[in-house]
Amino acid sequence: MSSDNLSAVLYAKNDLRLENRPIPEPGPNEVLLRMAQVGICGSDVSYLTKGFIGDFVVKAPMVLGHEAAGVVAKCGANVKHLKPGDRVAIEPGIPCRMCDFCKGGKYNLCPDVFFCATPPDHGNLCRYYKHAADFCYKLPDHVSLEEGAILEPLSVGVHACRRAGVTLGSKVLICGAGPIGLVNLLTAKAMGATSVCITDIAENRLQVAKEMGADHTLLVSTGDAEALAKEIKELLGDMPDITIECSGAEPSIRLGIFATKSGGMMVLVGLGPPEVKIPIVNAAVREVDIRGIFRYANCYPLALDMIASGKVNVKPLITHRFKLEESAKAFETARTGAGGAIKVMISCE
């Protein structure tokens, strides 16, 4: 085995370094992975450019990366379902498995979760990384390692659409056509939504959304949420049953409330400012339910089935590819959106 474990390590705000770190030894229930593909997430960019997200602050050097897939290099003594050479997608959050949230199936809410590249936990943008074997999912031969890495954001879409109750015949509004908005589009259509409208402030992203199956798109060029809500109603032929808000921006959340049909559901996916001003009375008197989501739980198997069966095609999401040695350039591309970047993928091989 190579002794090269080149890793992309964030030391502080705007201080990303490539350095060689020790190759870890897997425990009895872990696998050592030769990392293959790691996607850059908005949270990775936020840690790089701001040094924090909410209460999560980078206080010590941290390996970035959590949208990932790799190849099993070594198995711990108790691992039976995987073997060296298996290609796997990595679910980055490992819960305690013992608290009430874990036992109730909502392990994404576990207060003691280890989550890749969330301070103080190291991520997997490196050559070698060890992970709990039961949170590694073997990929079918026809599913690529890049698709395996995309399972992470796709699982966010699965969790959001489940929480929203998307089903056959749903009319859905998606606010924001970034990577998370697009995976929600794919998931909503796969779950039976018959009409999906997606909004954004960038025309190029709306064009990608159209190519990926959006029935309607709306370029947001005004802050008048109520006027925009009327435009959405005209596009869909009715107010949407469900709104999935993926930007976290206050004007977009306001739009979601005004646009959603009375008795409908709005799910908050995007994370923006800790406090926003919203028309809560409008939501209350029209019985618009508002739900939040946090990451996902028990979603990786379904997300993998969606890709493996051909129900969704995530390949168009990947617009740029870099090598691990080019991590600084990759992050700059993701930060700026240069060249119409949607999902930037880094090869660690």
DSSP result, 250-271? HHHHHHHHHHSPTT-EEEE---
Would you say the C-alpha torsion 263, 174, 298, 99 has a positive or negative sign? Answer: negative
Q: Find out whether the peptide bond into 120 is cis, omega within 30 degrees of 0.
A: yes
Q: What is the pTM of this model?
A: 0.96
Cα(62)–Cα(9) distance, rounded to whole angstroms?
5
Cα(315)–Cα(228) distance, rounded to whole angstroms?
31
Give the tokens for residue 148: 């395996």
Minimal CA–CA distance to 320: which of 330, 332, 312? 330
Give the contacts of 83 (CB within 8 A, at least 6 positions apart).
Answer: 72, 75
| pLDDT score for 2 | 63
CATH of 157-292, one of 2.40.40.20, 3.90.1310.10, 3.40.50.720, 3.30.70.141: 3.40.50.720
Give the contacts of 333 (CB within 8 A, at least 6 positions apart).
Answer: 320, 322, 339, 341, 344
Give the tokens for residue 261: 């049909």
| pLDDT score for 3 | 74
- Is residue 26 a contact partner of residue 74, using CB atoms and an 8 Å limit? yes
- CA 36 to mean position of chain CA atoms: 18
Q: What is the DSSP letter of 336?
A: H
Cα(277)–Cα(253) distance, rounded to whole angstroms?
9
Cα(273)–Cα(95) distance, rounded to whole angstroms?
27
Give the contacts of 234 (CB within 8 A, at least 6 positions apart).
Answer: none
Cα(88)–Cα(74) distance, rounded to whole angstroms?
13
Torsion of CA 285, 288, 294, 295, to 10 degrees: -170
* CATH topology for the 6-138+314-347 domain: Quinone Oxidoreductase; Chain A, domain 1 (3.90.180)
Q: How many CB atoms lie within 10 A of CB 327?
A: 24
Give the contacts of 127 (CB within 8 A, at least 6 positions apart).
Answer: 2, 4, 5, 6, 7, 23, 34, 35, 324, 348
Q: Where are the domains of the chain?
A: 6-138+314-347, 157-292
Fold match between domain 6-138+314-347 and domain 157-292: no
- Is residue 38 a contact partner of residue 327, using CB atoms and an 8 Å limit? no
Q: How many helices (H) and strands (E) does the chain have?
A: 10, 20
| pLDDT score for 272 | 87
Map tokens 């039961």 to a residue: 134
| pLDDT score for 69 | 98
Cα(183)–Cα(244) distance, rounded to whole angstroms?
11
pLDDT tens-place values along the chain, 349 residues long: 567 999 999 999 999 999 999 999 999 999 999 999 999 999 999 999 999 988 899 999 999 999 999 999 999 999 999 999 999 999 999 999 999 999 999 999 999 999 999 999 999 999 999 999 999 999 999 999 999 999 999 999 999 999 999 999 999 999 999 999 999 999 999 999 999 999 999 999 999 999 999 999 999 998 899 999 999 999 999 999 999 999 999 999 999 999 999 999 999 999 888 899 999 999 999 999 999 999 999 999 999 999 999 999 999 999 999 999 999 999 999 999 999 999 999 999 8
